[in-house]
C-alpha cells in the first residue's frame, strides 16, 4: 500500500505547509510523523484558514475577497482517506464541493460564533488553526474549540511568530509566543481576557505540548513557528 508523501503533496497542491511554496514552513514533516499511526481511521478534523490571507486582513475585504482554491483541505482529504474534514474561514468557500468536506463560515473574533461552531461538531481528532495569526484570535479560538478535541487528539496553532496590523483593532493581549513560553514553564496560561474557570479548564486538559521552531530567515534566530497541544 503506497503512503502519500505529505510534504510533496503540499508542494504540488500549493500550500505553504510544505517546503517549497510561499513561506515554506515545513510543518508537513512533523504532521506526517505524528499522524501516520491513525491515518486510515475514521475521525473528524477541522482546519481554520483555507487560503493565503489578504494582505491588509481588513475584515470587510476578507468577507468579499475572491477565493480560488483550498489546497491544504485537498491535502488532508488525500492523506486521511476516511476522515471528515471541516474547513472554516471568514471568507466564503461554500462553492467548493468535495466528498468528506464541509465548509463553515466563522469570524475568529466572535466568541459566540466559535461556541456555535463547537456545539455543531462531534468530538474532533485534529484542529489546525491557520487563520489571521492575530494573537487574540489564536487564543480565543483555542479556549473555545479545545474542549471539543477528543481524548488523545491534537490542536495546532500555526505561525505564532507572525503579527499583523489587524491586532491593533482587537482586544489587547499577550503575544501567543509569549503565552506558550510561559505555559511551558508554569503550566499556566497568561490570557487575561479568559475567565479563571476557562483558563483552568484549558490548563488541566492539556497532556503534552509540542513546539516547532526553525531559524529560517536568519536574523531572528531560533523562532517558534507552531505549537501543538495534545488533550488528556
**Mean pLDDT in each 10-residue stretch from start to end of the chain (232 residues)?**
87 94 92 96 97 59 75 97 97 95 96 98 98 94 98 96 72 94 97 96 98 67 88 98
52 and 16 Cβ atoms separated by less than 8 Å: yes
Residue 61 is inside which H or E element, if any? helix 59-64
Other beta carbons less than 10 A from residue 54's beta carbon: 16
DSSP E strand boundaries for the chain: 44-48, 84-89, 101-105, 124-129, 149-158, 206-214, 223-231
Which three three-digit cell numbers place residue 56? 491588509
* pLDDT value for 59: 60
Q: Measuring CA to CA, how many Å separate 108 from each of 17, 30, 49, 147, 205?
A: 21, 25, 10, 16, 22
Q: Measuring CA to CA, how many Å separate 46 from each of 74, 94, 130, 163, 172?
A: 13, 15, 11, 23, 27
Q: Which domains, ranges and CATH numbers included, belong to the chain?
A: 6-231 (3.40.50.150)
Residues 133, 48: Cα–Cα separation, whole Å: 11
**Pairing state between β 101-105 and 206-214:** unpaired
124 and 149 Cβ atoms separated by less than 8 Å: yes
Which three three-digit cell numbers place residue 13? 497542491
Residues in the chain: 232
* pLDDT value for 216: 61
* pLDDT value for 60: 61
Residue with cell 495546532: 156
User: Residue 87 forms beta bridges with which residues?
Assistant: 47, 103
* pLDDT value for 229: 98
Amino acid at each position: 500500500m503506497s503512503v502519500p508523501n505529505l510534504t510533496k503533496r503540499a508542494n504540488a497542491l500549493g500550500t505553504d505547509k510544505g517546503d517549497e511554496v510561499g513561506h515554506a514552513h515545513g510543518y508537513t514533516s512533523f504532521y506526517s510523523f505524528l499522524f501516520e499511526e491513525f491515518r486510515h481511521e475514521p475521525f473528524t478534523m477541522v482546519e481554520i484558514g483555507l487560503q493565503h490571507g489578504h494582505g491588509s486582513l481588513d475584515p470587510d475585504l476578507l468577507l468579499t475577497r475572491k477565493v480560488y482554491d483550498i489546497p491544504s483541505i485537498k491535502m488532508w482529504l488525500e492523506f486521511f482517506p476516511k476522515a471528515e474534514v471541516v474547513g472554516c474561514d471568514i471568507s466564503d468557500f461554500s462553492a467548493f464541493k468535495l466528498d468528506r468536506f464541509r465548509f463553515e463560515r466563522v469570524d475568529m473574533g466572535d466568541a459566540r460564533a466559535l461556541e456555535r461552531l463547537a456545539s455543531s461538531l462531534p468530538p474532533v481528532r485534529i484542529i489546525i488553526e491557520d487563520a489571521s495569526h492575530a494573537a487574540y484570535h489564536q487564543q480565543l479560538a483555542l479556549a473555545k474549540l479545545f474542549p471539543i478535541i477528543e481524548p488523545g487528539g491534537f490542536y495546532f496553532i500555526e505561525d505564532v511568530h507572525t503579527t499583523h496590523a489587524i491586532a491593533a483593532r482587537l482586544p489587547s493581549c499577550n503575544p501567543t509566543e509569549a503565552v506558550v513560553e510561559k505555559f511551558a514553564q508554569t503550566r499556566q496560561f497568561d490570557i487575561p481576557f479568559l475567565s479563571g474557570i476557562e483558563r483552568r479548564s484549558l490548563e488541566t486538559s492539556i497532556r503534552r505540548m509540542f513546539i516547532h521552531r526553525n531559524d529560517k530567515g536568519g536574523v531572528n534566530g531560533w523562532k517558534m513557528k507552531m505549537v501543538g497541544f495534545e488533550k488528556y
